[in-house]
Amino acid sequence: MSKKLKLVLYALCAMLFALCSSADTQQAGKVFHIGFLDNSTASGNAVALDAFRQELNKLGWIEGKNITIEYRFAEQKQERLLELAVDLVRLKVDLIVVTSAGPALAAKKATTTIPIVMTSSTDPMGTGLVASLARPEGNVTGLSGLANELNSKRLEVLKDAVPKLSRVGLLRTAGGSDRQLKDLRPATLALKLKLEEIETEPDAKGLESAFQTAKQKQVGDSDDRQSPFSRRKKANCRACRQTPLAGYLSRKGFVDVGGLMSYGADYDDLYRRAAVYVDKILRGAKPADLPVQQATKFEFVVNLKAAKQIGLTIPNRVLERANQVIK
């Protein structure tokens, strides 16, 4: 190789290195703006949010350094979700993280271009958020918490815990979705249980009335899985304690405030996995190319204090299966 040709090659390499260094410097100096949309409150979602931020930190994203997060909480007012989603779009965030189906639908209505990452949506295909789990298409991807799919398993565990159980109650809003009943109705038949569907309003007064109705119908368990009730878990569990019911719920947070037991996805794990989606998208991946993943870690938590209050003895074989027992 001639000396002249070598000089030309060295010059080209130097130019390419300079271009790459410039691009890296520009990317390193960019601060990404993330929107976070939740239908509950900051305090109610604090633990899972900490898990989300910790995972982002591990992936190299530090709040206040190379990312900023705009938090928006509807504070139990479903009607505010679209307004808050539109506000995030107006701020031109690079990505929106949503916590469940309600915020996800609001965000999708507000934008078809900004990437949206779900932390724990229920039935993303059934609600029209994605075309399929394998190929989401559009601008939405993330995690599914399998809330509806676990209904049968919850009933099985409950029946083991309360062998004499004969009736279960389901609190639901008037005109609410029937998706959760798809597996629940046949599961109650298989376990020889009678399902009492109790319609009520998602407020403290409505819940108190619903639990009294359940008591009159001699329901031995009352299960609320729809988000309006989830947002009022303290009032729900207070009503549980005032009636001879075994409140059996889908999230650990309910047990922490007095519910009897819960069986559901590990939401801290889902939030950590959502951070991985955020990392991939900020580094150039497109939501349409990232399949929706389902929950793989689950928690079974039993509150022996609540059991004692309603005079219930949980069999040891059930307690041995629990991830956590609150004494």
Residues 179-236: tens digit of each pLDDT = 666 667 777 888 888 777 666 655 556 556 656 655 555 444 444 444 433 444 444 4
pLDDT above 50 (res 50): yes
CATH of domain 151-265+299-326: 3.40.50.2300
State the CB neighbour count (10 A cutoff) for residue 153: 16
User: Under CATH, to which class is 30-146+266-297 assigned?
Assistant: alpha beta
Q: What integer pLDDT is reported at residue 216 of this predicted model?
A: 56
Residue 271 makes CB contacts below 8 A (sequence gap 6+) with 48, 49, 51, 52, 55, 119, 120
Average pLDDT, the chain: 78
- The domain segmentation of the chain, as residue ranges, is 30-146+266-297, 151-265+299-326
pTM of the model: 0.75
pLDDT in tens, 152-180: 788 888 888 888 877 777 766 555 555 66
Please list, residue by residue across 66-99, b when 16 or more beta carbons sit within 10 angstroms of its beta carbon and e when fewer do.
bbebeebbbebeeebbbebbebbbeeebbbbbbb
Identical fold for domains 30-146+266-297 and 151-265+299-326, yes or no, is yes
pLDDT above 70 (res 73): yes
